[in-house]
Structure 1
Amino acid sequence: MLAKGQRDDEDVCPPQIPGQLALFRDHGRRFSSKHGGMIRDREIEDLPLVLDQLRIIADQRGVSSAGWFYDTWQGARLALASREPGERRVGAEMLADLPKMHPTIAEALKRAGLLRPARPRLVLASAFTRGSCEHCLAWNGVVRRVCAGCHHWERKPHHFPVSVCVRCCRELPTSAGHCRRCRLVMAETASDLSGAGMVGGDQLWFGGEFAPLLRTVKHKGTEVGVRGRFEAKAKAVREVAQPPREVSDHLIDPRQQGLFRCPERDWTRLDETRRPALTEHAMQVVAGFTSHLRSLGADPKQVASSFRTLRIVAGHLGVEVPLLEADIRAVAALSDSHHHARLPHYLQQLGLLEPLNLDSADVRHARELADALPTAFATAVHTWIRVMAGVGTRPSRALKDRTIHAYVSRAHPVLSDWASVGLEDPRAITSSDIDRAVSAQRGANTRATLCSLRSMFRALKRERLVFRDPARAVSLPGPNTLPRPLATDQLRGLLGQADTARDRLTVGLVAVHALTRFEVRHLLLTDIDLTRGRLTIRRPGCLDHTVYLDELTWDLLRTWLAERSTRWPSTTNPHLLLSRQTAVNDSNAALSDLSTKKPFMAIGVRASALRADRILDEAKHTADPIHLIRVFGIAPNTAMHYLRAAHPAQFRPDPIAP
C-alpha cells in the first residue's frame, strides 16, 4: 500500500501477469510528459541502474539542468514500465512512444544492458487498403481508389471508353456497353455451373490476388467475347446440354467379308463436333494405350494428340478388325492437333494394325531406275532390290536404303549401255563384257561399279535367274596395305577424354576388345554375364564370339548399367546402350550410328584405326594366328594379315605375285 500523497496511477502501464498471452495486438502508446509523474512512486525494477547511467551521461556532457534530468528520468520510468510481462529489456521500437529524449534514454538503456534490438513492426493489411473498389466493388486488396483490374480499364480510354453502363446505369469505363463489374457478373452467370446467379442482386467477390480475371477478345465488329475459364465453363455447359452420343453406324463387322478392297478413306470432311461414342472394347484399347506409354516411361500428356487420333478412328470404324495404318496416318495429317506418335506400334502389339508398306525415297528411286530398263533387265534389278532388302527367297541381312540406291544407280548406266548394243538379257552377259564396262570407268567409280555388278550377279545366281556369275572372275589390282600402329600420344588418356559413361564404355570396348561400332550398338542386356565376366558378341552368319571382360571394362560396364537403371528404370528397350530417344522408343531401336561415332570424333581417333591398333598390338606379342582368332573372333585371313604386318621378317615375298 502507498502512503498518503504518493502517486501510482494504475491506468498508466498497468502491471501485467507474466506468461499471459495477449488476445489483441498492441497498437502502440502515446505518452506525454505528465504520464511519468503519474507513476513516480511506483517501484520499477532496474530503474536505479538506468538512472545511474543517466547521471554518468550528464557528467560526460556537462549537463546540470533540472529540466534535462526531469525529462530523461520520466522517460526512463515510462520505458521500463511499458515492458512486456516477463521481459527485462526494453524494445528499441517502443522508445518512439516516449515524449522526449529518445536517443539519450536509448543510450542509457544500452549501457545498462536493458535495450533490445528493434523488432519489425507489423502493420495490418487493412492499413494499406482503401476498402472496396469504386468500380467493381471488390472488397480488400484495393491499394488505390480502384482495384488493379479496373485501373487497367481506366487508364486505357481508347479501348474502354467512359459511358453509361447498360446494366447498372453507372458512368464508368465500358466494354460492349457494360462496365467491368457487370461483365464479370454476366460472364459468371452465363454458364452458372457454380450457382452464383442471384435474383434481385449480384454476388460480390474479394479483391487482390483472389479477384476473378476477365479476358476479353474482339470477334467481329464491336462484339466482344470472354476467354479463359469462362470459355471453358461455356464449353462444359454445351457438352452437358448435348444429347448422348451414339455408336457409329459404320463399325466394321469382322463376320462380313469384303468383296473388294475399298480405296483410301477421305477424312478431310470429318466433323469432330459429332464424334460417335466408343464401344466397350474401344474404351479398353484407349485405356490400354495409357498403360503402354507409362510402361515405356513416357508421359501420356505429351502425346495427347495421338489419343485424339485413336478415339476418332476407333469411334468411327471400331476395333473389332485391324485398323489400316493408312487411316491412322490420314487422320494424323488433318491438323497439328492430330498425331500418331507411338500409336502404330501399340496397335501392332495388340494385333489391331494392318501396316502400310512404305518405301523410302531411296528405294523408290531405285525401283524407278529399274522400271526404265528393258523387261529382262528390269525384272533382274527388281529381284536384286528384293534380295538387298532382305526379302528374297532365302532370308538375308538387309542393307540400308541408301546403299541399295547407290548400288542400283551405279549399275544402271552399264545396264543401259548393254541394252543399247543388243545385250538385253542378264544370262547373255560374260566376264569380258563386265571387264570392258569396268575399264571404261574412271577414278573411284571403277571399283564402285565392279562392286555393284558383283552384288547384282551374286543375287541373280542365288535366285537362280542366271546359270553362272560372270563377275566372279573379274578383279582389279590394288595395293596390299598393312595396318599401322597409332602414335603413343594419341592413346594416352583416351578414356579420360570421353564425357559420359556411355561414351567411355564405347571407347573401352573398341580399344580393349577390338569390337566394331556396329557390334557395340547392337549389344543386348542378355549378352552380358557379369557373374562370369563374359560378353557375347552376336555376328550374323558367323559363330558367336565370347569376350572375357578385364577389370577396366568390367568397371566401365557396371558404371553404365547403374546410370542406365537410374535414368530409365522402366524402359523396355533390350539394347545395352541407350539414349534419351531410344529409351522411350516403342520400336526398341538400337543406338544411332552417329551416337557411337561422336566419342571418337571428340578424341580425334577413328574407331576402325583404334580397333586395328589393338589387334596389331596383340599380334606383336604372338606369332600364332589361332590366338588372334580366339581373342578377337576374326577370320584366319585377317589374322594372317595382322601377323604379316607385325612380323614382316618372318614372311617371304610371293614369287608369283604380280
Structure 2
Amino acid sequence: MPLKNRYCRLCWLQAALQAQDPPIVTPADLAAVTSHQLSFAGTTKMRGPRSGARRRLHTPPAADRARPAGSADGGQLQLHLPGPGRAFDRAQHAELDNHALIRVRRIAATMSQAHGWNAALVAELDRALVVVLSGHADGERLRYSQLIEVLHRYGVSISRVAEVLSQAGLLDDDRVPAFESWLAAKLADLAPGIIDDVRAWVRALQRGGPRNHPRDLHTVRRYLRAAHPVLVDWSTRYQHLREVTTSDVTGIARALRGHPRRRTLGALRSLMRYCKKTGSIFADPTARVRIGHRDESIILPLTPAQIDDVTQAATTPAARLTLALAAVHAARPESIRTLHLDDVDLGNRRLTIAAVTRPLDELTHRLLLDWLAARRSRWPNTANPHLIINKQTASTTRPVSVNALTAPFRGRAATLENLRVDRQLEEALTHGADPLHLATVFGLDETTAIRYSDAAAKLLHTPADHHPGSARTQGSNRS
C-alpha cells in the first residue's frame, strides 16, 4: 500500500480516530496505533445512503438526528472517515428546490460562461453549492470560515465558491488579513505608549495622505522589521518615544554598518518625522544623524556561459517568451506577469510594456505566436486577459504569481532581473552611453539612465576585468 511518512492510509485513519487533539494527528498518535478497523479493497469509494459523522452548515432533519451514528438503511457499511469528508449525501440531504440554491446556480452558470470554466470546474462548483446551500434559510448569510470548515475535505476551490456567493450577496468575509495578524504580533512586544505611535505610523504608510502615496505592504513590512528590534529595546527603558534622545539614535548608528545601518536609520527617521508632524514628540532625535549613501554595485555584462545556462532553462513556450521579454525588451518580471493580450499588436508588430510601445522583433514575434497557439490549444475558453497564464489562473482573471513566472529560472547562473540589467547595459554600450536614448527606449527615469550610461562609459574605456566585483553584482541591482 502507498505510505505517507512511513504509515499507510489505515494507520492514519485509526490514528485520527483515537487522536488526543482531533483532527490533528501527531507522531505520538501514530505510534499509539495497535489495531486497525477491517477494510475491504474497493469499498472505500462506495457511497452508502448514510454516513456516521455529519458537519453541515444547517441543522439536519429530526429523523436524521434520531438515527444512531454508523447505521445504514440496507446499504454497504463503509470504512469510517473522521471529519466532514463524507458528511453530505446528495441523495438524502440535497434540497435542489431551495430558492437561494436556484438563484446562486443561475449566477454560477453566468459566471462560468464569462470566465470560460470547463465542465469539470462547473461540476465541482455546483456540487459545492448544493452542499452549502441545501437547507439554507431566507435571509441567512454565510461566513467564509464556515466554507473552510465544510468544504476543505471535498477538494473544491473555496475561493471560487466564495466568489459566487459574494456575487449573490450571501457571504460575509470574516477572514483576518495576514498583515493585520503580523502587525498585532509585532506591536505586542512594545510598550503601551509606543504602540500607539507605531500603529499610527504604519497606518499612514499603508494608506498614504494628502502629500504621500500609499506604500506597498511589502515596503511597510520592511520598514517595521527594520525598526522593530530598536523599538523593542527602547520599550524596556522608555514608555513613550518622546523620551528617546539623539544619543540613543547615535549609539544605534555606531553599532551598525552598511545596509543594515541605512535600513534601520531610514525606518527610524520615517517614524520620528511622522511623530513630530503629528505632535506626539517635541523634537526629532534622528534629525542630525547621518544615514549615509548606498554604495552602488558595479554593473558588468553577463558572460556567455551565464546566458547559455539561463537559456537552457526555458523549455516551455511560456518560459521562452518570458526569457525573450526580459533579455530583448528589458521587461521586469512584474511587467511581464501583468502584460495583457491587448498590449500585443501582432499586425503592426508593436508591443507595449510598462506604457512604452516598442517594435516587435522577429524572435519575440515567433515566440509570441508559439505561446498564443499553446495557450489557445490548452485553454480555448479562458477569459483571462493576461498574456501569460497557467492552470491556476486560466479559470480566473488574475495574473500569474511572480514565483510561478520565475520558477523555471530559479537556481540558474542568471535570473530574469540579471537579463534585464544586461540588456539595458548592452544598449548603452552599443549606442555610445547616451542616457536620453536609454530613457526613450526603456522608459527609465533620468537617474537610472545616467547610471547605466556611466557604467557603459567606464566599460568602454577600461577592460571589464579591471573593475572590482563580478557580473553577479547585478543580482542585487534593482534599478
TM-score (ref. length: structure 2): 0.66
Using the alignment, how far apart are the partners of 2:155 and 2:305 within structure 1? 55
Q: CA deviation at 1:424?
A: 0.9
Aligned to 1:597: 406
Report the AA paired with residue 507 of structure 1. Answer: L
Shift of 1:581: 1.2
Cα distance 1:443–1:636, how it changes in 2: closer, same or farther (>3 A)?
Answer: closer
Which of 194, 203, 216 is the equivalent residue of 1:398? 216
CA distance in 2, matches of 1:228, 1:606: 47
Aligned counterparts of 1:533 and 1:565: Cα–Cα separation in 2? 20
Residue among 457, 480, 499 paired with 2:315: 499
The equivalent of 1:348 in structure 2 is 166
* Paired position in structure 1 for 2:184: 367
Q: Is 1:625–2:435 an aligned residue pair?
A: yes
The partner residue of 1:436 within 251, 258, 261 is 251
Letter in 2 for 1:366: L
Q: Contact (CA 8 Å) 2:344, 2:350: kept in 1 or not?
A: yes
Determine the C-alpha separation between the residues in 2 that align with 1:307 and 1:411: 49
Structure 1 residues 419 and 561: alpha-carbon distance in aligned structure 2, compared to 1, 3 A threshold: same
Provide the residue aligned with 2:129 in structure 1. 310
Report matched runs for 1:602-621 at 5 Å: 604-620=413-429, 621=431
Q: Provide the residue aligned with 1:238 in structure 2.
A: none
CA distance in 2, matches of 1:490, 1:337: 42
Question: How far off its partner does 1:606 sit?
Answer: 2.2
Which deviates more from structure 2 when the two are superposed, residues 622-631 or residues 492-501? 492-501
In the alignment, the residues of structure 1 paired with residue 166 and residue 348 of structure 2 have an alpha-carbon distance, to the nearest angstrom, of 38
Q: Deviations over 1:486-544 (max 9, x none)?
A: 12343459656521111111111111121111211121223333344333334xxxxx3
Give the equivalent residue in structure 2 for 1:583: 394
Distance change (3 Å), C-alpha of 1:275 and 1:449: same
| Residue in structure 2 matched with residue 5 of structure 1 by the alignment | none
How far does the alpha carbon of each residue in 1:73-127 deviate from its partner, in whole angstroms, 9 at most, with x for none?
Answer: xxxxxxxxxxxxxxxxxxxxxxxxxxxxxxxxxxxxxxxxxxxxxxxxxxxxxxx
Cα distance between partner residues in 1 of 2:160 and 2:369? 31
Q: Distance in 1 between matches of 2:222 and 2:343?
A: 34
The structure whose residues are more often helix, as a share, is 2
Structure with greater contact order relative to length (CA < 8 Å, sep ≥ 6)? 2
Instruction: Report 1:173-188 matches (<5 A).
Output: none
- CA deviation map 1:581-615 (0-9, x unaligned): 1112x3x3321222222343375312222222211
SS at match of 2:358: strand
The 2-side partners of 1:349 and 1:231 are apart by 33
The 5-angstrom pairing of residues 217-616 of structure 1 reads: 278-293=97-112, 295-299=114-118, 301=120, 306-318=125-137, 323-332=142-151, 335-336=153-154, 340-360=158-178, 363-387=180-204, 389=206, 396-400=214-218, 405=221, 407-422=223-238, 424-425=240-241, 433-441=248-256, 445-454=260-269, 456-457=271-272, 474-491=290-307, 495=311, 498-538=314-354, 544-584=355-395, 586=396, 588-601=397-410, 604-616=413-425
Task: Extract unaligned runs of 5+ from structure 1.
Answer: 1-219, 236-244, 247-266, 539-543, 652-658
Deviations 1:225-248 (A, max 9, x none): xx899987x89xxxxxxxxx99xx
% same residue: 31
Cα distance in 1 for partners of 2:279, 2:138 equals: 44
Give the 3 Å change call, closer, same or farther, for CA 290–442 of structure 1 in structure 2.
same
RMSD of aligned C-alpha atoms? 4.3
User: What residue in structure 1 maps to residue 469 of structure 2?
Assistant: none
Task: Output one character per residue of 1:433-469: Cα deviation in whole Å (capped at 9) or x when no partner.
Answer: 4343233346764344235435545776898877987
Structure 2 stretches lacking a partner, 5+ long:
1-36, 51-59, 62-83, 462-479
How many residues are aligned here? Answer: 386
1:630 deviates by 0.9
527-536 vs 471-480, which deviates more?
471-480
Q: How far apart are 1:418 and its partner, in Å?
A: 2.5
CA separation of 1:430 and 1:528: change in aligned 2, threshold 3 A: farther
DSSP-derived class of the 1:617 partner: helix
Letter in 2 for 1:508: A
Question: In the superposition, relative to structure 1, how do residues 385 and 479 fare at CA in structure 2: closer, same or farther (>3 Å)?
Answer: closer
Give the AA of the match of 1:509.
Answer: L
TM-score (ref. length: structure 1): 0.50
Indicate if the aligned counterparts of 2:101 and 2:129 stay in contact, CA closer than 8 A. no
**2:463 counterpart of 1:646:** no
> Who wins on radius of gyration, i.e. which is larger?
1
Q: 1:374 to 1:550 in 2, by over 3 A?
A: same
